C-alpha cells in the first residue's frame, strides 16, 4: 500500500498487475489489462506528433475508464489532453484540435473540423496477441516524460469567461499525494470510490481517475447523478469513498443511505452547518471538505464528524494571509509545490496565488473561512458579506436552502434571496397571505442579520440553480430578479 511518499503514476501503469480490477460498471469489471489494451486502441488512431504544445485532443467522456485511457493515449502520441464538457467541446476555440473523443452523440457538424471518435467504437482486443500488445504499451508508457504529459481544463474562475488551465502530470501527482496523506485509506480491497461529479472537471479527474489508480482502490466508472444511484451500490458489498459536492448534497432527501460510507468528500464550496448535519445524518460517516480551485488545486481541508469551522492547509502547502490596506481584512494567499500558477507577489518577492477568500488565521496554516471578497458589498455604507447573510438564512428553520444577492433599485441598495422552503416553511407559507409570510420571514431573520442586510425581496423555488460543476449559479439568480432591479 502507498505510504505517503510521492508516487510516479506512469510507472504505476507500466508495472500494474494485469488482473487488478480498476473500474466497475454494473456487473462489468475493467482490469488493468483492459485499460492497457484500450490505451493501445486509442493511440493507434492518432499519428505521432513532434510539437505537442500545438496539438490537442478534446476529450468529453463521462465514463472514467474510457477517460483515463483516452488521456494516456493522447500523451503517448504527443498530444495535450483537453478535458471538457460535451457542451464546451462544441464551442472550444482557444486553438485547433484534431480529434474529439466522446461517449455522446456528437457528430462532425457540431464538432467543427475534428475527427470524432466514439468510445464505443474502440475494441478491447485485437487480432494481435494481447500479451505482446500490452507489453508494447507498457514500454511506451514507461518511456514517457511526466513533465510533458499535460491536461488542459477549462474554468470560469471569478470572471465568468472560460480560460485554460494547463497542468502537468507531476503537478497532479503532488495533489494526489497530498489527498492520500490526509485520507490514509486502509483495507483497499474493501473499498469502492464513487462520485457524483463529472470526471472532466479537476475535482472529478483527481478523485475518479487518479486517486483510485494511486491508491489501488477500485472506482465506479459511471458518474452518479441521483441519490437512488448511490443506494443501488449497496449490492457491491463494499464501503464507499463517496466523492460529491455541496450542490448535490443540498438536493438529497432525508432517506438514510443504504450503502456503507467509509468517507464522504465534498469540494466546490464550504458546507453550511445545516447541510453538514443533514449529510452526516443520512450517510453516517465522516466528512472531508476540500477547499481548492482548478487554478490552485487542493489548498486546505477540514475533516469532521460533528462540525468544525477550522480549515487546515494540506501538507507541503502554505496558507499566506494578505492584508487588505483599505479595511485590514485578510485574503487567502496560497503557495505549494504542486501549484505553479501565481497571480500576486509579496513585498519580499514571494510569488503566491491570491484568492478572493476572506480568512481569519487561527494558527500556522489554520484559518476560518469568512466567504468571498467578491461577495462583500456596501449597503448604506455598511460592508455586508453576502456569504454570511446566505449562511444565516440557510440556518432558519423555515428554509432548506437559499442564495443571497445584492440589488439596486431607484438608487437604493438592498439584498434579496432566492429560497427553498423546508417542509415546515411550506406549510406556514400556505397558511398565510403572501404579505404576512414575507413579514414573518423577515422578522425571523431580523436580529441575526444587520437590519440593512435583511432581504427585502424573496423568490421561492423548488431548488437553487447550479452551474454544471455544482456551484450556486448567481448569474441565473440575478436574472430572476431583473424584472424589478439591477445587480449592485
Q: State which CATH number among 2.60.120.10, 3.90.1150.10, 3.40.50.12780, 3.40.50.970 fits the domain covering 9-165.
A: 3.40.50.12780
Q: Do domains 9-165 and 224-373 have the same CATH topology?
A: yes
pTM: 0.81
- Report the run of H or E that residue 8 belongs to, with start and end: none
pLDDT higher than 90, residue 10: no
Assess whether pLDDT exceeds 90 at residue 220: yes
According to the model, what pLDDT value does residue 118 have? Answer: 87
Instruction: Give the phi and the psi of residue 281 in degrees, each rounded to 5.
Output: -70, -40
Q: Is 15 helix (H, G, I), strand (E, B) or coil?
A: helix
Q: Report pLDDT digits (tens) over 379-389.
A: 877 888 898 89
Cell of 404: 443571497
- Tell me how far apart the alpha carbons of residues 203 and 467 are, in angstroms, rounded to a whole number: 15
Angle 69-72-76 from CA coordinates, rounded to 5°: 130
- Please, what's the b/e burial string for 6-43 (b: 16 or more CB within 10 A of its CB; e: otherwise)? bbebbebbbebeeeeebbbeeeeebbbbbbbbbbbbbb
Segment of 77-91, 215-229, 282-296, 299-313 carrying the highest mean pLDDT: 215-229
The partner residues of 329 in beta bridges, in order of sequence, read none
More confident residue, 134 or 22: 22
**pLDDT recorded at residue 52:** 52
Checking if the pLDDT of 272 tops 50, the result is yes
Instruction: Look up residue 338 and give its three cell numbers.
Output: 504542486
The mean per-residue pLDDT over the stretch 276-301 comes to: 88
DSSP 110: H
- The CA distance from 380 to 391, in Å, is 21
Tens digits of residue pLDDT in 173-218:
888 888 888 888 888 899 999 999 999 888 899 999 999 888 889 9
Instruction: Reduce the DSSP state of residue 286 to 3 states and report it.
Output: coil
pLDDT over threshold 60, residue 484: no
| Distance of alpha carbon 312 from alpha carbon 300, whole angstroms | 5
Categorize the per-residue pLDDT at 123 as very low, low, confident or very high, splitting at 50, 70 and 90.
low
Q: CA–CA separation, 403 vs 398, rounded Å?
A: 14
**Across 284-430, where does the E strand assignment appear?**
287-293, 297-304, 310-313, 317-323, 330-336, 344-345, 351-363, 366-372, 376-379, 382-385, 399-409, 412-421
The CATH number of the structural domain formed by 380-487 is 3.30.300.30
Q: What is the mean pLDDT of residues 214-239?
A: 93
Q: The dihedral of CA 48, 52, 55, 57: what is its sign?
A: positive
Q: Where are the domains of the chain?
A: 9-165, 224-373, 380-487
DSSP-derived 3-state class of residue 57:
strand
147 and 8 Cβ atoms separated by less than 8 Å: no
Average pLDDT over residues 49-63: 78
Please tell me the predicted confidence (pLDDT) of residue 388: 87
Band of the pLDDT at 4, cuts 50, 70, 90?
very low
Q: How high is the pLDDT of residue 266?
A: 92
Q: In what order do the strands lie in the sheet with 412-421?
A: 458-460, 412-421, 399-409, 486-487
Tens of pLDDT, residue by residue over 458-480, are 999 999 988 776 778 888 999 88
- The string over 45-70, giving b where at least 16 C-beta atoms fall within 10 Å of a residue's C-beta and e elsewhere, is ebeeeeebeebbbbbbbbbbbbbbbb
Contact 453, 382 (CB under 8 A): yes
pLDDT for the residue 128: 52
Q: What is the overall mean pLDDT for the chain?
A: 84
Residue whose entry in the numeric block shows the C-alpha cell 448535490: 248
Confidence at residue 132, expressed as pLDDT on a 0 to 100 scale: 82
Of all helices (H) and strands (E), which one includes residue 220?
A: strand 218-220
CATH architecture of the region 224-373: 3-Layer(aba) Sandwich (3.40)
Amino acid at each position: 500500500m502507498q505510504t505517503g511518499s510521492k508516487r510516479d503514476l506512469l510507472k504505476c501503469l507500466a508495472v500494474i498487475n494485469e488482473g487488478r480490477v480498476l473500474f466497475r460498471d454494473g456487473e462489468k469489471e475493467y482490469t488493468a489489462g483492459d485499460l492497457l489494451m484500450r490505451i493501445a486502441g486509442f493511440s493507434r488512431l492518432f499519428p505521432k506528433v513532434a510539437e505537442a504544445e500545438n496539438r490537442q485532443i478534446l476529450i468529453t467522456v463521462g465514463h472514467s475508464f474510457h477517460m483515463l485511457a483516452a488521456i494516456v493515449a493522447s500523451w503517448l502520441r504527443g498530444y495535450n489532453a483537453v478535458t471538457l464538457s460535451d457542451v464546451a467541446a462544441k464551442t472550444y476555440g482557444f486553438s485547433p484540435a484534431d480529434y474529439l473523443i466522446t461517449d455522446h452523440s456528437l457528430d462532425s457538424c457540431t464538432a467543427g473540423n475534428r475527427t470524432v471518435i466514439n468510445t464505443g467504437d474502440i475494441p478491447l482486443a485485437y487480432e494481435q496477441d494481447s500479451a505482446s500488445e500490452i507489453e508494447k504499451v507498457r514500454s511506451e508508457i514507461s518511456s514517457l516524460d511526466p513533465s510533458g504529459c499535460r491536461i488542459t481544463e477549462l474554468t470560469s474562475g471569478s470572471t465568468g469567461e472560460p480560460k485554460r488551465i494547463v497542468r502537468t502530470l507531476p503537478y497532479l501527482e503532488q495533489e494526489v499525494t497530498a489527498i492520500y496523506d490526509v485520507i490514509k485509506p486502509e483495507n483497499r480491497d474493501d473499498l469502492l470510490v464513487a462520485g457524483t461529479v463529472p470526471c472532466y472537471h479537476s475535482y472529478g479527474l483527481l478523485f475518479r481517475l487518479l486517486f483510485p489508480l494511486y491508491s489501488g482502490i477500485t472506482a465506479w466508472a459511471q458518474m452518479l447523478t441521483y441519490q437512488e444511484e448511490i443506494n443501488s451500490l449497496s449490492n457491491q458489498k463494499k464501503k464507499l469513498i463517496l466523492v460529491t459536492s455541496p450542490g448535490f448534497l443540498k438536493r438529497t432527501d432525508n432517506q438514510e443511505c443504504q450503502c456503507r460510507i467509509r468517507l464522504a468528500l465534498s469540494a466546490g464550496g464550504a458546507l453550511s452547518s445545516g447541510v453538514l448535519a443533514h449529510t452526516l445524518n443520512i450517510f453516517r460517516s465522516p466528512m472531508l471538505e476540500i477547499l481548492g480551485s482548478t487554478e490552485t488545486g487542493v489548498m486546505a481541508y477540514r475533516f469532521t464528524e460533528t462540525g468544525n469551522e477550522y480549515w487546515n492547509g494540506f501538507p507541503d502547502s502554505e496558507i499566506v494571509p494578505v492584508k487588505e490596506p483599505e479595511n485590514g481584512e485578510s485574503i487567502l494567499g496560497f503557495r505549494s509545490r504542486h501549484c505553479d500558477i501565481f497571480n500576486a507577489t509579496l513585498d519580499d518577492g514571494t510569488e503566491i496565488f491570491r484568492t478572493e477568500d476572506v480568512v481569519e488565521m487561527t494558527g500556522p496554516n489554520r484559518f476560518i473561512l469568512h466567504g468571498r471578497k467578491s461577495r462583500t458589498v456596501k449597503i448604506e455604507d455598511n460592508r455586508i458579506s453576502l456569504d454570511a447573510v446566505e449562511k444565516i438564512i440557510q440556518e432558519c428553520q423555515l428554509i432548506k436552502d437559499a442564495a443571497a444577492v445584492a440589488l439596486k433599485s431607484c438608487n437604493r441598495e438592498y439584498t434579496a434571496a432566492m429560497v427553498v422552503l423546508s417542509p415546515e416553511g411550506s406549510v406556514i407559507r400556505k397558511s398565510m397571505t403572501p404579505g404576512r409570510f414575507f413579514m414573518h420571514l423577515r422578522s425571523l431573520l431580523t436580529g441575526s442579520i444587520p437590519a440593512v442586510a435583511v432581504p427585502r425581496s424573496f423568490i421561492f423555488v423548488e431548488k437553487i440553480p447550479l452551474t454544471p460543476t455544482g456551484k450556486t449559479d448567481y448569474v441565473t439568480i440575478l436574472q430572476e430578479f431583473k424584472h424589478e432591479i439591477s445587480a449592485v
